[in-house]
Amino acid sequence: MRRKKKDKRIKYSLFSFHRFFFAFCVVGFVVTVSFLLFLNPSWFSENVYIPDDTIKKRAISTLLNIIFLCLSFAVIDSIRRRVHFGIPLENILDATREITNGNFKVRIKPMHKFIFRNELDVIMDDFNKMAEELESNTSLKNDFIADVSHEFKTPLSVIQNYATMLQEPGLDEDKRKEYAKILSDTSMNLSELVTNILKLNKLENQQIFPEKKPYNLSEQLCECMLLFESKFEKKNLNIQLDLDENLIIKADYDLLTHVWSNLFSNAIKFNQVNGKIFLSLSKEGNFAMVKVKDTGCGMTKETCEHIFEKFYQGDTSRSTQGNGLGLALVKRVIDITSGDISVSSTVGIGTTFTVLLPLE
């Protein structure tokens, strides 16, 4: 059976050898002193006559003294157990009850520091870390529910309002078509929101396991780019490519397709008419580096710092064009692929997303 390694954080173990050796020495010393105090060597001498009453009295006295010593040791040991075990365990039990009742702000103060830390102190530290993680997860869950509720409320209000307007009598054909198109676009955005929420939930809960296979990255980028050809033409965007055609990566093809689709979609949405999009692929050490650059509205430094957070939308004037989940999905997929993504942007000039993926 493999021996468990001792936790390096424990400096003074509750069950160490030197503690038992110390206790043995104390008990041995007390027992020895007891015999010297209460047992008279003359009792065992053949030449000394001791009356029976005296023997009985001394025997009773010895018994009472031993009982007194035993009770004293019991009290001392009880106090020791109370200090070393009882109080810390009560603190841990009280804290676990608070956690069970939903109070994740509870913390336990360790009993010892530095060289005197024992197993109970480590348990308290781990408990505090667990409580912090639970508090953080609860906060994230509540924020996520609030954000989802808010994101659903806006499109549902639009659908309700325009559905009501479509019921107005005497509505002309042009208005009817306009309202119907808005309803269609809003419902598609709502459907996309639900799909992204489900995808992000699966990715964060590790319910999606990447199937890594080697393939040519430049071919995938070109295929994804062609899917947006009609949107490029609609804005009259100039596409410039600089792709290394020989880069092979080992990754999940479908997951990375979501990455490129989101980046290309953003480059189109936030670009200006007659603008430009630059797509490059090159080798950087052991990584394939993909850059997607546009000449759009750009972002502030603060927006760049939060752009990969769920439901974050730095440009509120264009918030109707997305739901703030696309780049959160991109970041999660890149993390699963053991890659890295960064963004640099200048307001009024454009934005560049840089993706690094490990080569096969």
The pLDDT profile of the chain, 360 residues, written as one tens digit per residue, is 445 555 566 555 555 566 666 666 676 676 666 666 655 555 555 555 556 676 667 667 766 776 777 677 777 777 777 777 778 888 888 888 888 888 888 888 887 777 777 778 888 888 888 888 888 777 767 766 766 676 677 678 888 888 888 888 888 888 888 888 888 888 887 777 777 677 666 666 665 667 888 999 999 999 989 888 888 888 999 999 999 988 999 988 888 888 898 899 889 988 989 999 999 999 998 999 999 999 988 888 888 888 887 666 555 444 445 446 678 888 888 888 889 999 999 998 999 999 999 986
Q: Is residue 191 domain-resident?
A: yes
Q: How far apart are CA 123 and CA 130, in angstroms?
A: 10
State which of 153, 177, 204 marks the end of a domain: 204
Q: Are residues 114 and 234 in the same domain?
A: no
312 contacts 149 by C-beta, under 8 angstroms: no
Q: Are residues 165 and 228 in the same domain?
A: no
Q: Are residues 219 and 347 in the same domain?
A: yes
Query: How many distinct helices (H) and strands (E) make up the chain?
Result: 10, 7
Q: Are residues 310 and 178 in the same domain?
A: no
Distance of CA 322 to the CA centre of its chain: 26
Q: Are residues 344 and 274 in the same domain?
A: yes
Q: Are residues 31 and 122 in the same domain?
A: yes
Q: Is residue 99 domain-resident?
A: yes
Q: Are residues 227 and 354 in the same domain?
A: yes
Task: Find the domain containing 65 and state its range.
Answer: 17-132
Name the domain count of the chain. 3
**CATH code, domain with 175:** 1.10.287
Q: Are residues 252 and 155 in the same domain?
A: no
Q: Are residues 263 and 306 in the same domain?
A: yes
Q: Is residue 297 domain-resident?
A: yes
State which of 132, 161, 181 marks the end of a domain: 132
Q: Is residue 1 domain-resident?
A: no
Q: Are residues 218 and 199 in the same domain?
A: no
- Of 184, 185, 193, the C-alpha closest to 152 is 193
Q: Are residues 221 and 195 in the same domain?
A: no
**CATH code, domain with 240:** 3.30.565.10
State which of 73, 107, 132 marks the end of a domain: 132
Q: Is residue 7 domain-resident?
A: no
Give pTM, 2 decimals.
Answer: 0.53
Query: How many residues are recorded in the chain?
Result: 360
Strand partners, 193: none
